[in-house]
Amino acid sequence: MLATGAGEPSHVRVLFEEVDLTTLMQLAIDFEISDSVLARAYVHAREVYGAYSPEMDEIAQEMGIAVQPSDAT
């Protein structure tokens, strides 16, 4: 899930929405997942499962990975 952003929808949402950014980054390091792969996985999770994390949005945007605007207002 961390590398692909795919899996059981509720698990993917919890991973990217509720797990602290520092923990996500440490897990990525532990599993040798690059920042860009993690950001792309998040974008996939957002687009497919509706996961949302303002911090991950910012990281993806900084890396030049397209993030669709949120429908939430």
Where in the chain are the domains? 9-62
Q: 5 Cβ partners below 8 Å, 6+ apart?
A: 12, 16, 40, 41, 42, 43, 44, 45, 46, 48, 49, 51
Per-residue pLDDT tens, the chain, 73 aa: give them: 999 999 999 999 999 999 999 999 999 999 999 999 999 999 999 999 999 999 999 999 998 887 766 554 3
- What pTM was estimated for this model as a whole? 0.88
How many residues are there in the chain?
73
